[in-house]
Amino acid sequence: MSKVSKIAIVTGAGSGIGKAAALELLRDGWSVALAGRREQPLHEVAGESHAGDRALVIPTDVTDPDAVRHLFERAVQQFGRLDLLFNNAGVGAPAIPLEDLSVQQWRNVVDINLNGMFFCIQQAFRVMKAQSPRGGRIINNGSISAHSPRPDAIAYTATKHAVTGLTKAASLDGRQHDIAVGQIDVGNAQTELAQRMVQGALQANREMTVEPMMDVAIVGQSVLYMANLPLQANVMFHTVMATKMPFVGRG
């Protein structure tokens, strides 16, 4: 490991935005603990990166506080410290009327998108406060849905709005410990989660419209930019989106 290598944990690193961010960090010389529920995709990301022992695979269910604690302990044991948490793991629910959403579907989204994100923030604070030099950076993955909902997406929207609250509270509480906390809000990146928009997405007027998309690698580059800032500076909220997607205005 290079003596100048910084250390990151990326959750949801096996696909989509997490994969794109992990690859950008590894290409930039970071050492990265790749966390996710499915082990095989994590190994595929590590192999694609050609980063050798700078890529550490740690299968993790972020809804399990013990598994999250093990993730952070294992990463620090391997790399010695933690400079960045990209708090990315997230999931949606079926696009159905809210009254048809089951309790289990609701709880699954809340457990991953909100509880899991909090458990990771909590462990990151514990590590970053105690290490020397102290401090570090946390980047939470919000969403355009942290600002504006789509139809039939109440669970995802509610949790992503809640992520903004986590970001603000953790940013405030982290100041005294040199922990910078920010949020990246992504719109229409080409990922498995957003694939349905290529065929058509339900609009506010209930019409189906094919929406423009952007390369998910652009999001990885945005995360890398935020990650490489000195701790005296923080991007509190960063929105990166397909230029022509229907977001601003009265769509």
Catalytic residue numbers read 156
**Rounded (5°) CA angle 239-240-241:** 120
Name the amino acid, one letter, at 220. G
Give residue 195's pLDDT: 67
Q: What is the CATH number of domain 7-241?
A: 3.40.50.720
Rounded-to-integer distance, Cα 147 and Cα 112, Å:
19
Give residue 251's pLDDT: 55
Give residue 191's pLDDT: 85
Neighbours of 240 (CB within 10 A): 18
Give residue 79's pLDDT: 98
Ordered mean pLDDT values, 10 residues apiece, the chain (251 residues):
77 97 98 98 98 97 98 98 98 95 98 98 98 98 93 96 98 98 95 72 80 94 98 97 85 55
Give residue 1's pLDDT: 39
Distances (CA, A) of 62 to 103, 113, 115, 132: 19, 9, 8, 26
Give residue 199's pLDDT: 76
Residue-range domain boundaries for the chain:
7-241
Distances (CA, A) of 65 to 61, 84, 191, 192, 225: 9, 19, 27, 26, 29
Structure token pair of residue 175: 């100041």
Name the amino acid, one letter, at 250. R
Give residue 197's pLDDT: 67
